[in-house]
Structure 1
Amino acid sequence: MDTKLKNSHRLAVIIAVLVLLISSVGMVLTYPIYSNQLKEELDGDSIEMNTVLEMSSSLLEGNAILYNEVYEETDRYYVLQYYGNSHFQLMRKYMDYEVFSNDGEALLKEKSEDTLSKLVKKEDTPYAFRAAFTYDEDGELIDMKVGGNRIDKREQFDIEQNLVNWRGYDYSDISEPSDVQIIYGMTEENLNAYIEGDDYAQYYQTYHLLENGTYHWMIAIFAVFTILAGIVLTVRKGFGFGTHKLFAVPFELVLCVLGILVGCTYMISDLVFRTISGNFLQIVPGMNSTLNEIFSFMINLLVWLAVFLVLFWGSVCLSHMFTMKKAYWKERTLCAKVFRWSKRGGNAYGKKVKDSAGGLFSRFKSFCKRQYDMMMHLDFQDKTNRTIFKIVAINFVVLIVICTFWFYGFIALVIYSVGLFLFLRKYFHDIQEKYKLLLRSTNQLADGDLDTPLQGDMGIFNPIQEELKKIQNGFKKAVEEEVKSERMKTELITNVSHDLKTPLTAIITYTDLLKNETDESKRKEYIEVLDRKSLRLKVLIEDLFEISKAASKNVTMNFMDVDIVGLLKQVGLEYDNKIKESNLDFRWNLPDHKIVLWLDSQKTYRIFENMIVNITKYAMPHTRVYIDMAETDRDVSISMKNISAAELNFNTDEITDRFVRGDSSRNTEGSGLGLAIAKSFTELQYGTLKISTEADLFKAEITLPKREKPIEEQEKETESSLIPEDHEKKEEIVLLH
């Protein structure tokens, strides 16, 4: 049984091959029939006439172009822009032409006298095709004549009628001819060259074959023969044909392939016409034509074999509808599979399709969301132009795609416009919400709420939100500074009152005692107390004035070259007794060489003095004090470290403020202005004074910059160095007197 089935299947394959070969060879063998029937077209007479008719209609356009080349009534650039690629521009390369005035004068003046005489000649013209057009002063075409030794009376009439039909064509965008005669002439050689290179002529040849009844009937006969063979081989069970997967293609795909085959009809017919006209294949010029004919025959045979093979395959695929009946529409159609998937949720194939579609939809949704987020978070500081360009480019591409739909593009445009409206409405609604959030934030700042943080996604206003946060922090810091300043003012008044009242009260008290005291020793003691208290009051008032002037920048600075190492040693020597009385062990770590800086010597001395006095007051007795000086390329740093006698529980940022002292009870003697004066004088000299503590360790670090001497001072020094020595001595004597 198996052997019989194999033999039957083999027989079916042989029959199929024979059917395809018979149909293909049969179509090629019918070519002589079409050649005889299309003899007129193959000779070119019919093609020539149609080409001339098509060519003559372009001469009216040429009349307007040549007229404007002569008179330039329309801008030459405009004519080239809109008529530079017209069909007449191709034609004029194959013909002679001239524009004559009605007096017979050649206006273009591009042709020789011999050519002009040939154009003017009406009878026995040397041209295969000649046309003359005459226009009156009003621009009316009053006469047109067509002739030539290749144009007979009938053809002349047809061409002139064709020109009459085309004369109403509107060329009003450029100036129309008036009061001129325009003549064209095309030689036989140029006419043949034009016809050979004319695409319309080639199309017209194929069009005649497509209209040939015999050609259609032959295709139909061999096509039906092939299709019936495919149906019989498939339907008849004995052959067992069509079971291969190649013939299990869905119904819709088979129709698509057959539709593509029908769409190739023109290309196949063009191949046939080129073959029967002998213009299809030239292997080697001058070679035996028999070889060329054999190759031409083989190629045509293969093309028709492919055509009938597709028809045979399609017939076998569709023949299963007779054997499978209802099952065919369920199993061999994509529509049924999609319907089942939509109804039941899908089988394995449906699930795969669903997953693929879901993945595509998810990616598309994610892409849309990213684009929307991008638009919602536009950075107007540096990305606005690029983002707008992207939006415009995308919209441009969409509109281009819509325009390709021609009539249906209107429906697509309506759908696109509605979608764009909905998208923009949501987009601007979101912008309004973000803007309201921004307004709430600004109103929060306007109401003075500096503690509540500005939160929320403001989209394109996020950069403004960041600036508002900076403003909030700046306002908050300014308010804290103002509160601190007000507190310091209150403490200043309290501290000044206390520090001034103490010596003043003592002065008043001892003055009253001195008035009634008769004991000379006690009177002397009271006077010493008065002297000490008045001096303290004087120092306090002087410090108060000093710090006030420093705070208002109303201090006169006398800068000069100062050896900062020598100055610090001088302060140490002058306060040596006070240092010994405080039982402190000063460890000096100063450079051995001079370090000269551009400073105010008096103010710098006061800085060192206040710092050393502060150490002698508050340092724990019998401890070591370290004073170090370090030099860099840019500045000089002086570090002073000591162990405090009292607990260091003050704020190091406020210790250098006015009237702030380490002992909050203010029992120690002093104005509380020492560190404040030192800090002010340091800053007036472009330096810094930084106080830090660690447990009981008190550390003060003074940094003074290395500044260049001003140019004015350098010029003064230069001038003084140029003064003669004896002159300096004379000035010195004058100053002494």
Structure 2
Amino acid sequence: MGEKVRLSGKEKSELWFEGLVTLVLLLMLNFALFVLLKQMIATNPTLQDTIWSVKNVLTFGQNKAHLWSWRNVFVGAMIVLDLMVLYWRLIRRYRQMQMRHVIAELHYIADGHLDHRVRLAVNTDLQKVINSINALVDSTVNSMEEERKIEQSKDELITNVSHDIRTPLTSIIGYLGLIEDRQYRSTDELLKYTHTAYLKAKQMKVLVEDLFEYTKVRQTTTPLNTSTFNMVAMLEQLAASFELEGEKKGMVFVVSGSPDPLMMNADTEKLGRVFNNLIANALKYGKGGQHIYLNAEKVGSEVVVKVSNDGPQIPNDALNQLFDRFYRVEESRSQETGGTGLGLAIAQSIVTLHGGYIYAESSPALTSFVLHLPLKVGTTLTRTPQVPSNQAE
């Protein structure tokens, strides 16, 4: 609720002066009209007879002419009109003062006090303008805050990319420098240097590709090449493609789905990127585990897909940060173990493009990445917070 406009002493004086001047002008006008009307009646017998007839009708033929004389009628009518004009003039001037206060508030906000809002209670029409102005300022502040976050995000992105590129680039330059200066003792040592430089260059290539993919899927205008497919069949194909790598790590894939076939509409290429990343992470970080579970289930108008492994538990304080760019659970930023740190951020962006959401949950028995996807692209799902009993709030 706004507060009423508080008039200053000067403004109150202006209001009194406005009323006094208006009253004086009205009295002068009344006197002039009275004199003019009196002269017209005195010189016009017909007008006199008319006034007398009206007086008789109003007094029901009784002799009360002194009450309904034309002078009394004129004075009464002019008093009513004068009061109406006086009220209109004072209200008009008061609203002008209200507008002056509102403009002063706007100038205060325009001077950089964006946390300030106009809290004045004024007439209905002006109140609508004030509410619109407050809404506009709120929108502007939110836009500025979003812009600030975007700039901060860009700075963080540049810093992280520079860090992750500089490390392998330093190694590449170092080993190529040794080769350039012929600081190697044998062909085997030369091949070792070139092989190391080659591996570091591949790391840089993966980072650049992931960065390009991340920036592309972050755009809400990124097109989706959708098609209808069987999600269970897709998971079985993915399990088959990773089966050899799973055997090397002693892990077995278990695929299940309900119903089967589970038909849905989505961009299979982009979802394939998501599942490839999640399965690769399960193989990389699920050391000691024996199973990777891929499960898809239709729940209402959405599909819930879980990629789980029975490897080590992810610390609770890390679960909510997994999808941050360049975040790695390990303290070391070694790309040999941590990858580029963009995989899960890319996965989240792709799922969001489809109108769904993704989150992680972990317990000593099982670590799962849970995807909620609409059966048909174009439907945006509302996330229902789910906190496992073992997960810290």
TM-score, normalisation: structure 2? 0.62
Which ranges in structure 2 are unaligned for 5 or more consecutive residues? 1-45, 47-59, 379-393
2:271 equivalent to 1:607: no
User: Which of 367, 370, 375 is equivalent to 1:706?
Assistant: 375
Shift of 1:512: 4.1
Judge conservation of contact 2:232–2:262 (CA < 8 Å) in 1.
yes
Structure 2 vs 1, CA of residues 708 and 535 (structure 1 numbering), >3 Å: closer, same or farther?
closer
Q: Could you tell me which amino acid in structure 2 is paired with residue 492 of structure 1? A: L
Q: What's 2:342 paired with?
A: 673
Shift of 1:410: 2.3
Secondary structure of 1:451's partner?
coil
Q: What's 2:8 paired with?
A: none
Judge conservation of contact 1:559–1:601 (CA < 8 Å) in 2.
yes
Residues 383-408 of structure 1 deviation map (CA, whole Å, 9 limit, x = unaligned): xxxxxxxxxxxxxxxxxxxxx97743
2:202 equivalent to 1:541: no
Measure, in 2, the Cα distance between the counterparts of 1:456 and 1:672. Answer: 51
Q: Could you tell me which amino acid in structure 1 is paired with residue 227 of structure 2? A: M
Q: Could you tell me which amino acid in structure 2 is paired with residue 437 of structure 1? A: H
Judge conservation of contact 2:106–2:118 (CA < 8 Å) in 1.
no
Q: What's 1:532 paired with?
A: 199
User: Which of 574, 595, 598 is equivalent to 2:265?
Assistant: 598
How many residues are paired up?
307
Aligned ranges for residues 576-587 of structure 1 at < 5 Å?
576=243
Measure, in 2, the Cα distance between the counterparts of 1:547 and 1:473. Answer: 31
2:357 equivalent to 1:689: yes
Aligned ranges for residues 275-354 of structure 1 at < 5 Å?
none
Residues 504-523 of structure 1 deviation map (CA, whole Å, 9 limit, x = unaligned): 22223333455533345545
Judge conservation of contact 1:568–1:605 (CA < 8 Å) in 2.
no
Greater gyration radius: 1
Structure 2 vs 1, CA of residues 625 and 438 (structure 1 numbering), >3 Å: closer, same or farther?
farther
Q: What's 2:3 paired with?
A: none
Judge conservation of contact 1:598–1:706 (CA < 8 Å) in 2.
yes
Measure, in 2, the Cα distance between the counterparts of 1:630 and 1:405. Answer: 94
Measure, in 1, the Cα distance between the counterparts of 2:338 and 2:374. Answer: 33
User: Which of 148, 164, 169 is equivalent to 1:499?
Assistant: 164
Shift of 1:692: 6.5
Secondary structure of 2:266's partner?
strand
Q: What's 2:229 paired with?
A: 562
Shift of 1:595: 1.9
Aligned ranges for residues 515-526 of structure 1 at < 5 Å?
515-519=182-186, 521-526=188-193
Judge conservation of contact 1:682–1:688 (CA < 8 Å) in 2.
yes
Structure 2 vs 1, CA of residues 562 and 418 (structure 1 numbering), >3 Å: closer, same or farther?
same
User: Which of 96, 99, 108 is equivalent to 1:432?
Assistant: 96
Q: What's 2:135 paired with?
A: 470
Structure 2 vs 1, CA of residues 565 and 670 (structure 1 numbering), >3 Å: closer, same or farther?
same
Q: Percent identity?
A: 27
Shift of 1:553: 6.8
Secondary structure of 1:507's partner?
helix
Shift of 1:606: 0.3
Q: Could you tell me which amino acid in structure 2 is paired with residue 423 of structure 1? A: Y
Aligned ranges for residues 616-631 of structure 1 at < 5 Å?
616=283, 628-631=295-298
Q: What's 1:443 paired with?
A: 107
Secondary structure of 1:648's partner?
helix
Judge conservation of contact 1:438–1:458 (CA < 8 Å) in 2.
no
Measure, in 2, the Cα distance between the counterparts of 1:621 and 1:613. Answer: 15
Shift of 1:471: 1.7
Judge conservation of contact 2:243–2:253 (CA < 8 Å) in 1.
no
Shift of 1:605: 0.4
Structure 2 vs 1, CA of residues 559 and 694 (structure 1 numbering), >3 Å: closer, same or farther?
closer
Measure, in 1, the Cα distance between the counterparts of 2:220 and 2:296. Answer: 28
Q: Could you tell me which amino acid in structure 1 is paired with residue 376 of structure 2? A: R
Secondary structure of 1:498's partner?
helix
Structure 2 vs 1, CA of residues 462 and 506 (structure 1 numbering), >3 Å: closer, same or farther?
same
Measure, in 1, the Cα distance between the counterparts of 2:362 and 2:122. Answer: 46
Measure, in 2, the Cα distance between the counterparts of 1:442 and 1:621. Answer: 65
Judge conservation of contact 1:566–1:594 (CA < 8 Å) in 2.
yes
Measure, in 2, the Cα distance between the counterparts of 1:446 and 1:467. Answer: 15
Aligned ranges for residues 352-363 of structure 1 at < 5 Å?
none
Greater helix proportion: 1
Secondary structure of 1:516's partner?
coil
Measure, in 1, the Cα distance between the counterparts of 2:346 and 2:377. Answer: 25
Secondary structure of 1:518's partner?
coil
Q: What's 1:415 paired with?
A: 79
Shift of 1:483: 1.0
Measure, in 1, the Cα distance between the counterparts of 2:205 and 2:307. Answer: 28
Moved more, 622-631 or 530-539: 622-631
Secondary structure of 2:121's partner?
coil
Structure 2 vs 1, CA of residues 477 and 694 (structure 1 numbering), >3 Å: closer, same or farther?
farther
Structure 2 vs 1, CA of residues 464 and 529 (structure 1 numbering), >3 Å: closer, same or farther?
same
Q: Could you tell me which amino acid in structure 2 is paired with residue 567 of structure 1? A: M
Measure, in 1, the Cα distance between the counterparts of 2:98 and 2:297. Answer: 57
Q: What's 2:317 paired with?
A: 648
Structure 2 vs 1, CA of residues 442 and 700 (structure 1 numbering), >3 Å: closer, same or farther?
farther
Q: Could you tell me which amino acid in structure 2 is paired with residue 676 of structure 1? A: A
Secondary structure of 1:637's partner?
strand
Aligned ranges for residues 222-261 of structure 1 at < 5 Å?
none
Which ranges in structure 1 are unaligned for 5 or more consecutive residues? 1-168, 170-262, 266-403, 710-737
Measure, in 2, the Cα distance between the counterparts of 1:583 and 1:451. Answer: 59
Secondary structure of 1:666's partner?
coil
Judge conservation of contact 1:629–1:639 (CA < 8 Å) in 2.
yes
Q: Could you tell me which amino acid in structure 2 is paired with residue 490 of structure 1? A: D
Moved more, 641-650 or 428-437: 641-650
Q: Which has the higher contact order (CA 8 A, sep 6+)?
A: 2
Q: Could you tell me which amino acid in structure 2 is paired with residue 491 of structure 1? A: E
User: Which of 484, 493, 514 is equivalent to 2:149?
Assistant: 484
2:123 equivalent to 1:459: yes
Measure, in 2, the Cα distance between the counterparts of 1:659 and 1:570. Answer: 29
Structure 2 vs 1, CA of residues 519 and 462 (structure 1 numbering), >3 Å: closer, same or farther?
same
Secondary structure of 2:260's partner?
coil
Aligned ranges for residues 143-182 of structure 1 at < 5 Å?
none
Residues 3-47 of structure 1 deviation map (CA, whole Å, 9 limit, x = unaligned): xxxxxxxxxxxxxxxxxxxxxxxxxxxxxxxxxxxxxxxxxxxxx
Judge conservation of contact 1:648–1:693 (CA < 8 Å) in 2.
no
Judge conservation of contact 1:657–1:676 (CA < 8 Å) in 2.
yes
Residues 457-494 of structure 1 deviation map (CA, whole Å, 9 limit, x = unaligned): 23322222222222222112111111111111111111
Shift of 1:623: 10
Structure 2 vs 1, CA of residues 640 and 413 (structure 1 numbering), >3 Å: closer, same or farther?
farther
TM-score, normalisation: structure 1? 0.36
Judge conservation of contact 1:589–1:629 (CA < 8 Å) in 2.
yes
Q: What's 1:636 paired with?
A: 303
Secondary structure of 2:338's partner?
coil
Secondary structure of 1:707's partner?
coil
Measure, in 2, the Cα distance between the counterparts of 1:591 and 1:546. Answer: 32
Secondary structure of 1:466's partner?
helix
Shift of 1:626: 6.9
Structure 2 vs 1, CA of residues 437 and 550 (structure 1 numbering), >3 Å: closer, same or farther?
same
Shift of 1:693: 7.0
Measure, in 2, the Cα distance between the counterparts of 1:662 and 1:454. Answer: 48
